[in-house]
Structure 1
Amino acid sequence: MFERGTPGADRIDALRGWVGDGGGLLMVGGYLSFTGFEGKAAYRNTALHEVLPVELLPEDDRVELPAGGRASAVGTGHPALGGVTGEWPPLLGYNRVRPRPGAEVLATLGGDPLVAVAGYGAGRSAVFTSDCSPHWAPAAFCEQWDGYARVFGGLVEWLSQ
Structure 2
Amino acid sequence: MKKALLLGESWTTHMIHQKGFDSFTTTEYVEGGQEFRAALEDDGWRVTHLPAHTIETHFPSSPEELAAYDLVVISDVGANTFLLSRAVFGRSEREPNKLEQIRDYVLAGGGLLMVGGYLSFSGIDAKANYARSPLGDILPVEVLETDDRAEHPEGAPVLVQAPEHAALGGVGADWPALLGYNRTRERAGAEVLVRVKEDPLVALGTAGKGRTGVFTSDMSPHWAPPPFMAWSGYAPMWRALAGWVAGEGSGVAGG
Alignment pair present for 1:157 and 2:230 = no
Alignment pair present for 1:17 and 2:104 = yes
TM-score, structure 2 as length reference? 0.62
Post-superposition Cα deviations, 1:83-123, rounded to whole Å, max 9, x if no partner, equal 12121111000000011100000000010000000111100
Counterpart CA distance in 2 for 1:7 and 1:67 is 47
- Structure 2 unaligned spans of 5+: 1-83, 248-255
- RMSD, matched Cα: 0.9
| Mapping for residues 93-108 of structure 1, pairs under 5 Å | 93-108=180-195
Report the Cα offset of residue 76 of structure 1: 1.0
Match of 2:68 in 1: none
Report the Cα offset of residue 50 of structure 1: 1.0
Give secondary structure in 2 for the equivalent of 1:102: coil
Match of 1:48 in 2: 135
Counterpart CA distance in 1 for 2:228 and 2:195 is 15
**Greater gyration radius:** 2
Matched positions, count: 160
Give secondary structure in 2 for the equivalent of 1:153: helix
**Higher alpha-carbon deviation: 76-85 or 116-125:** 76-85
Which structure has more relative contact order (CA 8 Å, sep 6+)? It is: 1
How much identity, in percent, do the aligned residues show?
Answer: 49
Give secondary structure in 2 for the equivalent of 1:88: coil
Contact 1:25 1:125 in 2 (8 A): yes
Alignment pair present for 1:109 and 2:196 = yes
- Structure 1 unaligned spans of 5+: none
Match of 2:233 in 1: 147
Counterpart CA distance in 2 for 1:45 and 1:73 is 29
Alignment pair present for 1:36 and 2:119 = no
Contact 1:30 1:131 in 2 (8 A): yes
